[in-house]
Structures are given as C-alpha cells and as structure tokens.
Amino acid sequence: MSTFTTLDDLLDALAAGEREDDAEDVDALAHHLQCAALLAERAPDDVELQVAGLVHDVASTVWPGRPATHASAGAALVESLLGSRVAWLVGHHDQAKRYLVTTEPDYRDRLSVSSVHTLEAQGGLLDARERAELEASPDLDAVLTLRRADDDAKVPGRRVPGLEHWSTVLASLHRNYCRAATPKP
C-alpha cells in the first residue's frame, strides 16, 4: 500500500493502532487521539495541524519497525486524502524532533526512551543544511507544535475525544481538500 484510497482505509489503520504500543506507555491509537486533542487545545483554528497530529504515526501501524522512514511513508499514505499541508506536517515531524534537539539541547531530556532510540535511527542532530531547510518553511512553528504535542501525548488513561469525533473532522477536511483540488471549468 502506497496510499490510502478512502477515509475508511485511514480510519481502519488508525483503529488498528489499538493493538500496537510502540514501546510507549499508551497504544498507538491512544497516542494519535491524545496528540490530536492536544493540538485542538493549542491550535484551535488549525484543523489541518490537528489532523496531522491524528495521523502523524499511522505509517508505524501499517509498517511497524521503520522509524527512519515512518514520517515520509505516513505523508505519502495521507496526502491524496488530506492534502499537501497535512502530508508535509506528517512528513516532517521527525525532522522537528531533530531540530528541537539540535536547537534546544535540554529538549532531549523530555523525550521518552523510545523517542531517544528513534532519534538516532532518524539521523540524530540536524546538520546546517537540514536546519536551514526546515527554518525556511512557513510551517516551521506548526510542525514544532506538532512535535511537542507528540511528546506530550503519551499519558495512560488521559480522556480525549475518540475516533468517532475525528472521523467527522477527517470527512470535512477531505471534502474541502477535494473541492479545492478540483479544477474549475
């Protein structure tokens, strides 16, 4: 599978995360839901960012054990359904972790053991070229907000809206994306 063809495919993959823990204190579905809920609080007017939080690690459920490529694979999986901005945010959330560790040395201390392990697989600190490329993005602040929510979304038992809530949000975003992507006559 190189892309999801329907929202149901995406929702099924997210729901399958209930069986995956990725060496964290919560399963993948709980992590996705917490991340999206945190982003809804932190960026209430940015639905694309919230949805990126919901789907940011979906490739880890589809193809487990690939930390070095999960962000780019996730971006490829969701772009045709959710648009290029959501895909870019998903595709760069691991770069955001590398950026924060590079620019804020104390940031590493807030990472979970699993995130520290995957940091090394993802390339560790950014080099000057990678840093400049990320800093040039108009969505730098958004992807850093996503990354921080990603780190905070690992609390066992945290009550957040479920997948049913987000399926409505996904459907609305998908409709808007399809409408915008349809050529005007």
Three-state SS for 20-82 is CCCCCCCCHHHHHHHHHHHHHHHCCCCHHHHHHHHHCCHHHHHCCCCCCCHHHHHHHHHHHHH
Show me where the domains of the chain are located: 7-176
The yes/no answer on whether domain 7-176 falls in CATH 1.10.3210.10 is yes
* pLDDT tens figures, 161-178: 999 999 999 999 999 988
* pLDDT tens figures, 62-118: 998 888 899 999 999 999 999 999 999 999 999 999 999 999 989 999 988 888 888
